[in-house]
Structures are given as structure tokens and as C-alpha cells.
Amino acid sequence: MKFQSRRVAVLTAVTLLAGMGLTACGGDDDGGSGGGGGSAEITLLPKNLGNPYFDASRTGAEKAAGEFDGEVTEVGPDQAAPDAQVSYINTAAQQGVGALVVSANDPTAICDALNEARDAGVKVVTFDSDTDPECRDVFVNQADAQGIAKAQVDLIAEQIGDKGKVAILSAAANATNQNAWIKLMEEEIAANHPNIELVDTVYGDDDDQKSFDETAALLSRYSDLAGIISPTTVGIAAAARYLSTSEQKGKVALTGLGTPDQMRAYIKDGTVTSFALWNPEDLGYLAAYTAEALINDDITGEEGDTFEAGELGEYTVGADGGVLLGEPFVFDETNIDDFNF
Amino acid sequence: MSTSTVGHAVDERTYAAYSRPLWWRVVMTREFAMIVLLGVVYLWATGNVASFDGPLALYYLFLDIAPILMIALPMTLIIITGEIDLSVASTMGLSSVLVGIFHADLGLSIPAAAVCALAIGTACGALNGVLVGYVGLPSLAVTIGSLALFRGIAGGLLGTEAITDYPEQWTDLAKERLFGPVEGGYSGGWLGPVTEPASYPLVLVPIVVLAVVFGVLLHATSFGRGIYEIGLNEQAAKFSGVDVARTKLLLFAIAGAVSAFAGVYYTLRFGSARGDNAEFLELQVIAAVLLGGVSIFGGRGALPGVLAGVLLIGIVSSALRLEDVSSNVINIVIGVLLVLSVISTSLLAWISGLRVARTKSDHPTKGNQR
């Protein structure tokens, strides 16, 4: 006992300390980015890591940082849960980085943490998915909801001859973006496409299998369905995968928001004619320039502030601190090979 | 479980151990090693990690680990009896969802909603306790089942929705600082040096109260001795008059209540009730308890070591996050720490066994190769 317990104590301490020491060496290498403060140090916090969409945004943000001589550090949780983002926001507040560029997993859950970071002097830019306006300085909007809704309705109208039954395959039932778009799509259809009937909205929860199953259920429920709109990248890819092997391939139109990598095969095999999205690389690029403008006090987030965003040109801050990237981009057979994300 | 523990337990209680002075026996324990290690790591982090010594570091650290600290207390008692409760995080998620629903849909005030959630959490724990204590099922199987059951109910009640509308006074309370932020600096008094604003969140008060209550319960009452006896040898405990079934029922019910309280705190801190709140937190709790020197086989461990274990995991992950280390690497480091701490105990027991065998000392030779 006497030997054992002392040795346990000593060896435990030594091994654990050795572990700590090793990780410290590893950490110190990139630790330099944490200490500086003041310069254009930007922490990029996507909804989750390992998502090709946010990888493209990071590429854009890093490109922008290279141009204005700033530094972008990407951190984030493995899963898109709001509470997981909070500890990274807290960390950025402690580090005193120049700006935090974040895509919110929940519009309110991370609000307090963001405001604490702002109290600590960190500028907060949201991109892709916004929080409540009082929790951030500027929201870099990928395309205004109106434009996105209209682009998708126009695409489906064109593909089904402007008449017939249409259904929507969305993400989660409480997804901020999707719900805003769906509401506007309903209005757009009611106002300008009297012969299109929106028969159902189903939720695939941004889960591949669930979206796949919901597509199958939609097609069996409405045998005369003319088209499906899926305003989420996971949903449209799963729906396309179902359609491409079903009898309805080519008969039921599918459009929505997708990424070129996921949709390339379905464009080429004729399952999908065209779909829309913005360019996430441009989005990250613009978000980084917005962060830099805030850090340098070129803008404060007031409506009417203007700033230069490198090769994208001049941008003006709109109502509620919003900066609009531009019109959605339509991908089809002619241009899909030009994109890689 | 208990049979393999007996050899070690006897070893633990040989007279040789008690022939040392009291201070020696206190210093030469696993718990004391953890506390020393905690101090060393804390000092290292303060000196080497930029902004770890800032006023926000401890505040956020305690806010983050508060649920783990709370649940680790009853979990320690349960693991010392040789059982385990894997359902705590699911109970937490369920309680979070219930607070949201009671408040938003039924219009109850936050305290009333919290009391209801606590009652249901206690019932959840009691269900585990009855199945383990009175029906005699293995806790691993029972709580894997209830892990899925409670999480399923939580997810089923809210689906993918979130309830995010809570009165500000309550969400602020969850993040309140002890004595509140004071303009132009704050006198730390007995809590430490002058910092601004105060580094200690109010949630530490219930945690300290709970820690004292659990400490007294485990280390200074006959109920607590019974907990160790059950872990060392359940049959012997029964014969010596410990009501094993009632003890287990109580412990699981308490774990349910504390988990539900942690769920209420979690909901208010993040201002969000979701079915997937606190998913996988049970693993962090159990990891911290084991790191704190509690034997997974039961019968051995103490609360101070566990508290040090929780704080150690919290400090390591906070410091690494501040160094921009990715979450995967942080998980790897915590995992390695845990495996090393478990291996070191067994490995040294084995080495010490070899040494005893070679020198033919007064100890009978023991295999101890687990």
C-alpha cells in the first residue's frame, strides 16, 4: 500500500504532466495568433466543422485576410448545436480577438454570449444565419430572402410550365432561413403564379436519410406532383438521389438550393435541370472584409455606412445592420463544372 | 464487479497503511495527487496561456463545468456502490424540455416550472433506482435503456423545435456574478485578489452547498459508510445491516433530482430548451469521476478528488481552446488523460504486486492484474 499509493500518485502526476507538456508544445506553435490583439484578428465560427459549405466560406475569408494582411482562425463544434457554439464565443471574448464572424445555430441561444464578447471589445459579424439584430454589429446576408424565394419559384415555374402541384422539402421546422424563404415563396406563388398550387411542406431536418424518406412519402402521397422545391442543400441532394433512381425521374421537377459538388451528378444525368445558391466563398470573403472594416472603425454597422470589399467592390450597410452579397446564382449544365465546393 | 474488488480492498486496509502518521496518509492518496496536479496545471495555464489569467476565464470556466460539477456529486456515490448511471444527461435534456414546455405552453412561472421538472427528474431517477435496487437488474443495462427512453421523450415532446422565450431576470440569474459586477473594479475580499468584474458565477453557491451536503453524506454518516460497504462487497453489506436496495433507490433518485436541477440551469444559461440539450454530457461526468480516482469497480474514491477531476478537465479544455486547439484534439487530450490515469492505477498495482512477490514481504501475493 505505502509503495503503491505513493507511486500511483507520482506516476499519475508525471504522466499527466508529460501529456500536458506535449500538448503545450503543440499549442504554442499556433498560439501566436491568440496573443496579439488589435490587428485584424478574426475568429471564424461556422455552424459546425467539416461542412463543405463552410469550408468554402473559410477559403474566401482567408483569401480576404491575405489581401488586408489579417489573420483568420477557424474554430467550431463538431455538431451544429447552439450551446456548443457558446464556449467558442466565450473563448474569443477572453482572447480579445478583433472580430468574431459567426453563423448562428440558434437566433437567440447564443445572443447573450455574443453581447458579452462585444462588451469585451470584440466586433461581431454574423454571416449565413443571423441572430437577433441586437446581438451583433453587422449581418452579411447571402442574398435577401426575397431574392432567394423568387429565384426558386422562378426556376420551378420555368421547369413545370408555370402550372401544377408543387411541394417543399425543408430543413428543420424551426430553421430561421428556411421558414422565412418558405413564407415568401408562398406569397410569390400566390401573387404571380396563379396556376401553381403549393400542396405540402415537409421537413427533412437536414438529415440525409430523413430527407430521402420524406421525398419518397411526398411522391406516393401526391401522384400528380409536378415539382419539388428544397431550399436546403441536404434536402435537395437527398431528393435528387431518390428521384434519380425512381420512375418519376425527369417527370417530377426538382430545384432549390444546392451545392455544385453534391448536385453535379444529378445535373449530368438529367434528374435536375437547374438550381440556385450564392457563392459561399464570396460570402466568407465579404464577411472577412466587413469584419476588417468594423475593426478599423471604417464602419459601425449604422445604416448607410459604406466600405470596400476587395474585388467584390463597394458595399453599403442596409437596414438593421444588413449587408447584402447580391442576387442568387443559378447553376445548370452550362456552368456547373466551373465550381468546386 | 465486487468479487474482483475484494483483494484490492483488503490490501487498502492492511495495518501497514495505518502505521503511517495521519498527514502522511492524507498526502499519499490519489485524491491529493489530483489536487496537486490541478494546482500545477492551473499555475501552468495562468503563466503560459494568453488570456487564461483574464477576468473572464474563471467565470466562463465555472459556467461551463457547472452541470458536470453538480452531477458528478451523486455520480460519485453511485459509482462507489459499484453501479453506474448513464441516463443523467438524458434526464437533464428532459428537464430542460419540460421547463420550456411548462413555462411557454402551460404558462407556469419559472420557479414553478423548475419545481415540476425537478419532481419529474426525481421520478426518472427513482425509476432507475427501483429497477436496480429492488428488481436487481444491472445498472448498466437499466440506464442505457433509460438514457434512450428519457432522451426519446425529450425529443418527442419538442421535436426539432426550441423554446427560447424566458424572462430576462431568470436567464440573467443563471449567469449572475457573485456580488454582481461593480463599476470601476471589485473587491474580491476573501475570495481572492481584486478583479473586475467578479470571476465567480452565482451558480457556484448551490454547487458548494451540494458539495458540502454530499461530502458529509458520503464521508461522515453511516449511510455513506454503507455506500462504500456495498461497493466493496454487497453480500457482506447486506449481512451487516445495510439496506442495499433502499440505498441504491435513494442514490438514483438523488441523481435524477440533481440532473433535473442541472437541466434547469442549462436551459436558463443558454436560454434554449431543446430535446438534444446536454447530449453526451454523461460521458464527461463519468470521465471526471474516474479521473478523480473513483474506482469503476466500486468501493473506493472520495469527493475532493472528483471535484479536482472535474476542474482539471475544465481547465485543460478551456486552456486548449484559448490556444485555438481544435475540439477533436481537445477530446483526444482528455481521452488520453483519462486512459493514463486509469492505466497508471492498475499498472502500479501490478508492479507493486511483483515487488511484493519478489521481496516476500508480509503482504500475501496478489495478482491484481486488472
The owner of cell 459549405 is: A53
Of the candidates B28, B323, B333, the beta carbon closest to that of A5 is on B28
Least confident of A48-57, A284-293, B125-134, B312-321: A48-57
A145-277: what fold? Answer: Rossmann fold (3.40.50)
Please answer yes or no on whether B33 and A24 come within 8 Å at the CB atom: no
- Per-residue model confidence as pLDDT tens digits over B325-342: 887 888 898 888 888 877
First to last CA, chain A: 61
DSSP state letter for B324: T
pLDDT of residue A290: 96
pLDDT of residue B21: 73
C-alpha distance from A152 to closest chain B C-alpha (Å): 25
Could you write out the DSSP letters of every residue in B170-182? Answer: HHHHHHPBTT---
DSSP state letter for B186: -
**Whole-angstrom distance, CA of residue A275 vs CA of residue A266:** 11
Cell of A183: 413564407
| Between residues B225 and B54, the one the model is more confident about | B225
pLDDT of residue B363: 47
**Whole-angstrom distance, CA of residue B8 vs CA of residue B363:** 12
Please answer yes or no on whether A95 and B51 come within 8 Å at the CB atom: yes
Per CB-CB distance under 8 Å, the chain A contacts of B323 are 27-28, 30-31, 34
Per CB-CB distance under 8 Å, the chain B contacts of A83 are 266, 270, 272, 277-278
C-alpha distance from B318 to closest chain A C-alpha (Å): 8
Is the reported ipTM for this assembly greater than 0.85?
Answer: no
How many angstroms separate the Cα of B70 from the Cα of each of A119, A296, B114, B175?
29, 44, 16, 16
Q: Give the residue among A281, A296, A315, A308 at the shortest CA–CA distance from A40.
A: A296
**What percentage of chain B exceeds 70 in pLDDT?**
82
pLDDT score of B20 more than 90? no
pLDDT score of B253 more than 80? yes
Burial B62-77 (b: 16+ CB within 10 A, else e): bbbbbbbbbbbbbbbb
Contacts of B128 (CB under 8 A, 6+ apart): B85, B87, B139, B142, B143, B146, B252, B255, B256
Chain A CB within 8 Å of residue B320 CB:
yes
pLDDT tens track, chain A, 341 positions = 444 555 555 555 555 445 444 444 433 333 333 333 446 899 999 988 888 888 889 999 999 999 999 999 999 887 777 778 888 999 999 999 999 999 998 888 888 899 999 999 999 999 988 998 999 999 999 888 888 999 999 999 999 999 999 999 999 887 878 899 999 999 999 999 999 999 999 999 888 999 999 999 999 999 999 999 999 999 999 999 999 999 888 899 999 999 899 999 999 999 999 999 988 889 999 999 999 999 999 999 999 999 999 999 999 999 899 999 988 889 999 988 877 77
CA B35 from centre of chain: 15
Query: How many domains does chain B contain in total?
Result: 1
Per CB-CB distance under 8 Å, the chain A contacts of B357 are none
Q: Considering the domain boundaries, does residue B347 fall inside one?
A: no
Average pLDDT over residues B111-119: 97
How many angstroms separate the Cα of A31 from the Cα of each of A34, A73, B56, B278, B324?
5, 11, 19, 29, 7
Please answer yes or no on whether B337 and A12 come within 8 Å at the CB atom: no
pLDDT score of B361 more than 70? no
Q: Which ranges of B81-221 does DSSP label H, i.e. alpha helix? A: 88-104, 110-129, 139-158, 168-175, 204-219
C-alpha distance from B309 to closest chain A C-alpha (Å): 12
- Global pTM reads 0.76
Closest CA in chain A for residue B12: A1
pLDDT of residue A306: 94
Could you write out the DSSP letters of every residue in B217-261? Answer: HHHSSHHHHHHHHHHH-HHHHHHTT--HHHHHHHHHHHHHHHHHH
Q: Is the peptide bond before B197 cis (omega within 30 degrees of 0)?
A: yes
Chain A CB within 8 Å of residue B304 CB:
no
Q: Which domain holds residue B278?
A: 2-337
Q: Considering the domain boundaries, does residue B370 fall inside one?
A: no
C-alpha distance from B284 to closest chain A C-alpha (Å): 14
CATH assignment at residue B323: 1.10.3470
**Whole-angstrom distance, CA of residue A30 vs CA of residue B326:** 11
pLDDT range class, residue B225, cuts 50, 70, 90 = very high
Domain A35-142+280-326, CATH: 3.40.50.2300
Residues of chain A with CATH 3.40.50.2300: 35-142+280-326, 145-277
Interior angle at CA A319, CA A317 and CA A321, nearest 5: 55
DSSP state letter for B365: P
> In a mutagenesis test of the B interface, which of A8, A22, A28, A174 is the best target, namely the one with the most B β-carbons within 10 Å?
A8
Least confident of B125-129, B188-192, B244-248, B308-312: B188-192
Please answer yes or no on whether A75 and B37 come within 8 Å at the CB atom: no
pLDDT of residue B15: 54
Please answer yes or no on whether A16 and B57 come within 8 Å at the CB atom: no
Of the candidates B41, B162, B323, the beta carbon closest to that of A31 is on B323
pLDDT score of B135 more than 80? yes
**Whole-angstrom distance, CA of residue B288 vs CA of residue B157:** 31
CB atoms within 10 A of CB A162: 14
